[in-house]
Amino acid sequence: MAGAMFKQAVKEATGGTWEEWIIELDKTVGRLWSHEQVKEHIRGHYRTSDEWSEWIAIMYGQLMGRVPVGVSKDAGVQIGVRKTLSVAKEAIWSFLLTPEGLSMWIGDVPSFPLRVGYEYESKEGVSGKITVVEPLRKLRMTWKRPEWDKPSRLQLYVLSTNSGKTTVAIHQEMLEDVYMREVMRRFWDDMLNQMKKRMEV
């Protein structure tokens, strides 16, 4: 439910461990309360920020049996991010595999051969294994940050549009919790925005 990164972040932000929050909320939250009621209770009663009242309410809601956005039975916690660029598909595919491009989504790697079964690890500690290669269209791999216990599954698509532009679509699943989903949504958004700035000249 709640991963290590969320647990560390909630303690830094509020001073209480996630386990302490659960004990406290079990005593004070009604089982039939809505998400908004739980959030307002946390914010008003414990004087937490709006952002952390929201996160604690979401994570506690899962313990109450609620399924947050971005969670499915098969793929676990997942995120999809896409952006369309006014750049040829071939140019985007090539850029993603250059040292400059790789540094934006994997880090500094000595090499990155497009071979099924190839295991990579960057100097920054991002690691995984390539599982599917469809040149100029799709890469599928496992993708793991050094602080994660388990890898996620990552799919990266480069798709032509009818208008001659190219859509880069990123889908990541098996993330440890919905907090990490938001962390990764921001990471991929930032990466695609950087790509757009560098390539659309």
Question: What is the Cα 105 distance to its own chain's centre?
Answer: 12
- Full domain range(s) for residue 184: 71-199
Helix (H) or strand (E) holding 30: none
Question: Is the same domain home to 77 and 37?
Answer: no
Question: Is the same domain home to 131 and 111?
Answer: yes
- Per the structure block, which two tokens stand in for 200? 């659309």
What are the φ/ψ torsions at residue 66 (nearest 5 degrees)? -90, 145
d(CA 187, CA 45): 33
d(CA 92, CA 57): 40
Question: Is the same domain home to 14 and 104?
Answer: no
* Structure confidence at residue 143 (pLDDT): 97
Question: Is the same domain home to 49 and 14?
Answer: yes
Q: How many CB atoms are located within 10 Å of the residue 197 CB? A: 9
* Structure confidence at residue 184 (pLDDT): 94
Which sign does the torsion angle of CA 152, 178, 74, 149 carry?
positive
* Structure confidence at residue 144 (pLDDT): 96
Mean pLDDT split into 10-residue runs, the chain, 201 residues: 82 92 92 90 92 89 78 78 94 94 94 95 96 96 93 96 91 91 94 92 72
Question: What is the Cα 79 distance to its own chain's centre?
Answer: 6
Q: What is the CATH number of the domain that holds 151?
A: 3.30.530.20
Question: What is the Cα 83 distance to its own chain's centre?
Answer: 16
Residue 62 DSSP code = H
Please state the domain count of the chain.
2
Question: Is the same domain home to 150 and 87?
Answer: yes
Question: Is the same domain home to 81 and 156?
Answer: yes
